[in-house]
Structure 1
C-alpha cells in the first residue's frame, strides 16, 4: 500500500477538496477514464506544429511549439557537462547553472534536437525565482537556422546574476508574477502523477542482469506496468529495455514505484525503426512518490517523464532525453558529456481519476456520484517499496561503445529557497543593461495554449560548428524570489555554442 506520507497524502487532499467540500459524504478516488494532457502540457500546440517530428538533427526549423517541454515545480540546476534544453521551459524555483569547468548552456533552441522551438517573441524560459549563472558559465537563449533567428524572452520573478545571452529581439523581463500562470500547472502535474501511479498493471516486467522486458496484454489501448525495482543491472549498470505485446498506437505507462528509483539504460537511438522511437509520443515514465529519481545512461532516451512529489528531485544524466519532462519537484540536469534535453510531444491518453462520494451511514438514498466517461472500477494501489541503491551505480556497461555518466548525489531543493551564492561574471565577460523592462504583467492562457499579454510577438551529443548572430548580453545582479502557493486542485543552426 502507498504510505501515508506519500501518495496517500495527496489522495486525501483530492478527496477532501473535490468531494467532501461539496458533499457531506465520504469520497473514494478511483481510476476510471483516460484523457490526454491538456495545454499547456502534452501535445504540440499552435498553428505551426510539424506534421512529422524528425530525429534529432541540426537542420532548419520544422515548426514551432507553444507547449511546455520542461517544467519544474522546484529548482532547475545544471551541473556536470550538461549542454542544452530545448523548447519552452518553466521553473517555479531558481535556475542555477554551474557546469564543471564552466561553459555554455543553451535554452529554448539547441544545436541538435527536434529543431522545433517555441514561437518567436514568446517566453522561452520562465522562472519563479532567481537566475544564477556561476562564474565561467553562460546561458544562451535563442538560435538560428538557414532562414533566420528564433528568439524569445527570459521572464524571471527574482534577480539575474551572471551572464545571460539572449538573441535579438528576445528580452530579459523582470516580472514579480512570472510564476503566477503556472501554479495550477504544478498542481495538475502532482495530481496526474498520483492518479497515473494508481492504475492497475495490465502487463508484467521481467528484469534480468542485462535486460528489462515489458510484456503487455496485446489488446489494451493503455498498457500499464508497475516496476518495484531499479531498471538497472544488479551492480547498477546499464541494461536494455524491450517491449512486447504492445498494440500499435497504445499508450504505454511505466510506473516507477518507490522512494529512490533508478533507470540506467543504453536503449534508444532516436532513429526511425527503433522500437522506442516509434513508441515515443505515447510512452510515459511516471515517478509518483519518489524523493530521489535518477534517469541515467548513454542513450537517446525516448519517452516523457512525470514526477509527482513536490519534495522530490529528479536527476537526468542521459546523453539525450527525447520527450516532455514534467516534475512537481526539482530537476538536476547533469552528465559527463554534452548531455541534452530535446523537445518532443506526448500525445498519449493517461489514466484519469474521479472522486466518487459514498453514502454516509445515516443516508437514506444513494448519494450522487461524479460521472466518468467510462466505468471507473476501484484499482488497488500498487506497492511502493524502497528501491535499493547499489554502491557502484555506474559499472562497465554491457553496451561497449556507450559513455557512462557519473551521477551526482541529488541535492534536495525547496521551491521557495532562494539562491544564496551569487558570483560576478567571469573576467572578460561582457555585460550590458537590458534597458527599461516592461511593467510586470503575467500572462493568461487562451484556448491555443499560448500565454497572452507578454509581448507583441507572442503569438549521445552530436557535434556542431560555428556561431549564430551576435546576441544581446545581460549581466544583471540581484536577489529575489517569488514564494509559491495558492495551489489549485485537480484539475544557420546553432553551431558550436555549448561548452
Structure 2
C-alpha cells in the first residue's frame, strides 16, 4: 500500500519521538556525563588477571584469569546475596580460567567453573554446581579496560581545596566535595604512615591515586585506616564490625595504583575500600583483611588476610577508555557538585542493564556486623548504610568502555523527533491547502 507523504512524515517523526522516550535516560548524573563502574570486576571481591594463591577465604566472588592454588582450604561467596549471584557471569561465584589446586575449595553460594584440576583437587558447591569448562570472562579484554581506567582516573587533578597532610607517622586526607574527591599521594608518603585518616562527606566518591612503582604497608607498620563519621564528629577505625557512617565512606572509596607493579598489605590493619592495581602483584600478607575488593595482576595471601565483601558502589567520572595500545582521547571530567537535595549519583535499580546487580541486593544486617543495605547515603553526610551489592552498571558495555549508564543520545534524539514531527505536520497542512486551491 502506498503511504501518502504526509502520513510518512508523521510516522517518522512519531517513531523518533518514541525512541527518545524509551531510550535509557540519564540517571541522576546529569545530561553531560556518564556514570561508570569497574565493569565485570565490580562484581568480584577478587578479580585477578594471573594467578591467585590464597587461604582461607573470600567473602565475595572470586575470578582468576590464571591458576588458583587454594591448598589449605578456601571458601568463596559466603556473603553474596541472591541478586549478586544472579548478576555474575553464569552465576559463577568462582571462576578459574586455568588450573585449580586444593583439596577443600568450597563455593558457598552460586556456581563455580575451572579450566582444569590438579590431581586430588576437590571443589564443592553448596547452592549450585562446580564444573570444568571455559571461562565466562575475557580477562585480557577486561584488564585492558581496567588499566586504561586507572590511567584516566589518575589524570583527574586533585580536587580543589583537598589536602594531603603528613604529620610524623600520621597522614590525613581531607576533601569537602559532596560528589567526588580526588587525591594524589606519593607511594613513599603513604607507606610512611602508621595511621591514615580520611575526611570526606558521606556519599561522595573518593579516589586516592597513589603514584610510584611499589607500595609496602609493612614499611611503617600501618595500624589503621580511620574514616570520618559526621554524625559522631569523630574518626572511626574501619573494621568488619564498625565503619564510619554505616559503611558509606568505604563503599565509595577507591585506591588507584595505576603504575605500581607490587603492592604489599602485610599489616594487621583492615584496609578500607577497594584497591585497583591492575599491573601489580598484590601481597595480602597474613594479617588483616581488605574491607573491599582487590583488582590486581596476581594475588597471594594467607592467615587473616581475607577479602571482605564490601564492593565498590561509587559513580566514577565519565572517561573515554582507549584501545589497549592507545591513550585517552577525551580528558576525564569530574562530576559537578550537585546542589543539596539533588538525587544521588548512583543509578537506580529500575534502569540497571540486564545481568547487573541490583542495589536492592545488598546484604542485610547479620551477626557478622556488616552494615545494613537499606540504601546508599545521600551526599550531605547521612549515616544511612550503603548498598553492598555490585554497582548497577557493573556489566561492560558493547563499545569497549567501562560499564556505564548515561544520558547518551536521549536528548538529541527526542529533539530530533520533535523537529521531524513538526515538519510532518507542516507538510500535512501544505498538502491540504494545495488540495483546497485545486478544488
Shared topology, TM-score over 0.5? yes
Q: Which residue of 2 aligns with 1:346?
A: 312
SS at structure 2 position matched to 1:350: coil
Cα distance 1:155–1:197, how it changes in 2: closer, same or farther (>3 A)?
same
Q: How far did 1:131 drift? A: 0.9
Q: After the TM superposition, which residues 145-164 of structure 1 pair with which residues of structure 2 at under 5 Å, given as runs?
A: 150=109, 152-164=110-122
Change beyond 3 A, Cα 1:252–1:166: same
- Shift in CA distance, 232/200, structure 1 to aligned 2, threshold 3 Å: closer
- Tell me the C-alpha RMSD between the 2 structures: 3.5
Q: How many residues align?
A: 289
Deviation at 1:39, TM superposition (A): 4.9
Superposition pairs of residues 420-435 of structure 1, within 5 angstroms: none
1:286 CA displacement:
0.7
Secondary structure in structure 2 of the residue aligned to 1:195: helix
Note the C-alpha offset of 1:115: 5.8
Distance 1:370 1:207, change over 3 A: closer
Residues 155-176 of structure 1 deviation map (CA, whole Å, 9 limit, x = unaligned): 112334433241345333221x
Give me the whole-angstrom Cα distance separating, in 2, the residues matched to 1:353 and 1:162. Answer: 46
**Residue in structure 1 matching 2:295, options 316, 319, 326:** 326
What is the deviation of 1:371?
Answer: 11
d(CA) in 2 for partners of 1:214 and 1:158? 45
Using a 3 Å threshold, how does the CA distance of structure 1 residues 116 and 241 change in structure 2: closer, same or farther? Answer: farther
Gaps of 5+ in 2: 1-31, 226-237, 323-328, 337-351, 358-366, 369-398, 403-439
Structure 2 residue aligned with 1:77:
53
Does residue 105 in structure 1 map to residue 59 in structure 2?
Answer: no
1:215 maps to what in 2?
A: 174
The yes-or-no answer on 1:93 pairing with 2:66 is yes
Gaps of 5+ in 1: 1-31, 43-66, 143-149, 357-368, 377-444, 451-461, 464-487, 492-499
**Contact 2:113/2:132, CA 8 A, preserved across alignment:** yes
Q: 1:292 offset after TM fit, Å? A: 0.5
1 CA distance for matches of 2:80 and 2:92? 17
- Output the CA distance in 2 between the equivalents of 1:371 and 1:196: 10
Indicate which of 245, 250, 275 corresponds to 2:204. 250
How big is the shift at 1:272? Answer: 4.4
* Conserved 8 A contact 1:191-1:490: no
User: Higher helix fraction: Structure 1 or Structure 2?
Assistant: 2
Distance 1:273 1:326, change over 3 A: closer
Shift of 1:332: 1.5
Q: Deviations over 1:441-465 (max 9, x none)?
A: xxxx971237xxxxxxxxxxx99xx
Question: Is 2:354 the counterpart of 1:447?
Answer: yes
TM-score, scaled to structure 1? 0.51
What is the correspondence of 1:350-369 to structure 2 with a 5 Å cutoff? 350-354=316-320
Residues 106 and 141, structure 1, Cα contact 8 Å, conserved in 2: yes
Q: Cα 1:187–1:116, aligned 2, differ >3 Å: closer, same or farther? A: same
Q: Distance in 1 between matches of 2:142 and 2:354?
A: 15
State the match for 1:198 in structure 2. Answer: 155
Separation in structure 1 between the aligned mates of residue 321 and residue 85 of structure 2, nearest angstrom? 38
Equivalent of 1:289, from 259, 282, 300?
259
Call closer, same or farther: CA 1:354–1:185 in 2, change over 3 Å: closer
5 Å matches for 1:268-307?
268-272=238-242, 274=244, 277-307=247-277
Q: How does 1:374-385 map to 2 (within 5 A)?
A: none
Larger Rg: 2
Give deviations 1:372-398, integer Å, cap 9, x for gaps.
88899xxxxxxxxxxxxxxxxxxxxxx
